[in-house]
Chain A
Amino acid sequence: MTSFEPWRAERAEEIIAGRLGADGAALPILHALQAAFGYLPRQVFPIMAKALNISRAEAFGAASFYHDFRHTPPGRRVVKVCRGESCQAMGGEAAAKFLLAALGVDWGGTTPDGEVTVDAVYCLGLCAVSPAALVDGEPLGRADGMSLIAAARP
């Protein structure tokens, strides 16, 4: 269960300022902003653009390229379920369908109570214990529908 800070422009400026020294700082900055706020509110891009001396389009463009970056708040628990071939070979798709049906969401969706977001990922490097998932960063292997739902809604 992850809790995030409420959006504050000053806080965003502080996070960005702390990482300006790095070469190619955009990705570390975006990661840090999302770690703080849970997602990237669109107000963040003008601030980031100014600090990095790039256009807003470049700032937003970098963020929008990558699957990881969210533009709306996630649920309090994020379950990343692997859909790669190794997990497919071990029944991962059926387990994932069970989870999605039980939660009443589609891929990328958040339950109406804001508790759980289910994301599709393509390989967690846990292929030797397929099917696999990452629940708030903690790995889950040899998963099935029941263990996924137990991890998503403990």
Chain B
Amino acid sequence: MTRLFAPKDSAALAVGADAVALAVAAEGRRRGLDVDLVRTGSRGAFWLEPMIEVATAEGRVAYGPVRTGDVAGLFEAGFLTGGAHDLRIGRPEDHPWFAGQTRLTFARCGLVDPTSMADYRAHGGLAGIVRALEVGPAATIAAVTASGLRGRGGAGFPAGIKWRTVADAPGAPKYIVCNADEGDSGTYADRMILEGDPFCLIEGMVIAGLAVGAVRGFVYSRSEYPHANATFTAAIAAARAGGLIGEDVMGGGQAFELELRVGAGAYVCGEETALLESLEGKRGQVRAKPPLPAHHGLFGRPTVVNNVLTLATTPWILAHGGETYAALGFARSRGTQPIQLAGNVKRPGLYEAPFGLTLGEIVEEIGGGTASGRPVRAVQCGGPLGAYFPPTLFDTPYDYEAFAARDGLIGHGGVVVFDDSVDMAVQARFAFEFCALESCGKCTPCRIGSVRGAETVQKVIDGVEPEQNLALVADLCNTLELGSLCALGGFTPYPVMSAINHFPEDFRPSSPSSPLRRRMTP
């Protein structure tokens, strides 16, 4: 029997993975071959999707991107034994794009059957929870603290300190809430974990629960992720059947239960306090902090709110030691970051590497430049609230503090590339429009400032007193930054002001290269 692996990741499905998997199974049957087709997550090399892998004597050999029309030819070429073909990639681990990575959080994603506990265990899963049960809560928190792991949702708050705060907080019950409301354009790492290695997240949540004394967890996912939600629901059932969650976690005598909740299309619910309101069944309006969720979180109880990637990294940290994780990285950004390349880029995909690569290495070397073949003009890092970087800042190291020093943020790890056809004034207006659309309405700078901002940038685009209106926009951004309750209003100035500061020609019709000039001279 030959084992074949085809992705079931949403982005692979979006480019025909189901049809290819069906075609492979049908062609195998037609030829009377004994073929076992396993559906996995994605390895993250999306320009090669749908990518089919074959288990051969020398390991798994990949082919891609495979279209249904290629399937018969692949069988002819003997791909079941790793035969030569134009689409043959070889062993993924030998491919430079994979060989350059350090996959800790994504070690199993794309390799395993996401709903098989046996497969999970066979690929190193459960070592973290076993260790956590051995060493107990205090040493678990110490390991997470020693790892230097910071919140991967974007805020970068040290996970160990958050866990310690909740562990020490009086009050019961306590909760573990996983923020899987991954709304930033250009990011898809959370979705890949939910679809490709859900047990890793579950294990991380159980570790967190045992560490802080919580017996219940919620994963708050997105309605935009129907396939992820289906896979994760199946994984919860399998984890319960396998003893990873339930009355008696891994035979250690402690309980932990887990529930998946699905949001309803509100970007602001990715903000932790809005998320908690939403979980409580209310409008997803931001809460003022303090009190911190660690003291006064879900249903007013002490709550750990961590991103998917933060929680999914803790099993590795427990299994290998906090110091091992902390040995990787750059300055105060320890460990690895799953960088997600998207937009107009030749090789879009998830690239996990220690912090410290430069933005230029990420975009030009790993991403291969633009998909359109035109010059890169702007790179938006950290989602819709992140700054636009010009190529002149490509020497910026990928690190929380280095990005902040250049008025940007790494956020949840999204990197969206634009070629030279982009109009940065339109992007600045979009940033305000997005903020207006997604504002929860609680604070005035965000609710009204975003609307006025979009109107004012439109005046600039229309050539109405551009200098005066740009000064107004800068003043408004100052108000948003300092006066908003949460990052939605507070960070909208990043894309707006970075567009204005780094691409001033797009906002001034007198400049010969200005898109404004192009707009105004038909």
Contacts and interface: CB of A to CB of B under 8 A. Distances in A.
Contact of A28 (B186, B227, B261): B261
A25 B440 CA distance: 20
A13 interface: no
A122 B434 contact: yes
A90 B371 contact: yes
B10 interface: yes
Contact of A85 (B226, B285, B430): B430
A18 to B, nearest CB: 15
Interface string B178-195: 000011111110110000
Interface stretch (B56-64, B142-150, B337-345, B461-469): B337-345
Q: Which residue, of A24, A62, A140, has the highest number of chain B Cβ atoms within 10 A?
A: A24
Contacts of A80: 224
Contacts of B223: 31, 68
A90 B264 contact: no
Contact of B10 (A66, A125, A142): A125
A89 B10 contact: no
Contact of B11 (A25, A67, A139): A139
A49 interface: no
A23 B14 CA distance: 35
Contacts, number: 164
B261 A67 contact: no
A141 B344 contact: no
A86 B437 CA distance: 18
Nearest to A85: B185
B343 A139 contact: no
Given A129-B46, A139-B14, A69 B188 contact: no
A85 B186 contact: yes
B480 interface: no
A134 interface: yes
Given A134-B224, A138-B13, A127 B416 contact: yes
Interface in A113-138: 121-130, 132, 134, 137-138
A87 B418 CA distance: 10
B97 interface: no
Contacts of B254: none
A127 B414 contact: yes
A25 B281 CA distance: 6
Contacts of B380: 85
A31 B264 contact: yes
Contacts of A140: 14
A137 B225 CA distance: 8
Interface string B437-456: 11010000000000000000
A100 interface: no
Contacts of A12: none
Contacts of A58: 282
Contacts of B11: 125-126, 128-129, 132, 139, 141
Interface of B: 10-11, 13-15, 46-47, 49, 182-188, 190-191, 222-228, 259, 261-267, 278-285, 299, 340-344, 348-350, 371, 380, 384, 414, 416-419, 422, 427, 430, 434, 437-438, 440
15 contacts: A25-B281, A58-B282, A65-B285, A68-B223, A88-B427, A89-B344, A121-B224, A122-B438, A125-B10, A125-B225, A126-B10, A127-B185, A127-B340, A128-B11, A128-B348
Closest 7 CB pairs between A and B? A84-B185, A141-B14, A26-B281, A66-B264, A128-B46, A127-B342, A89-B343
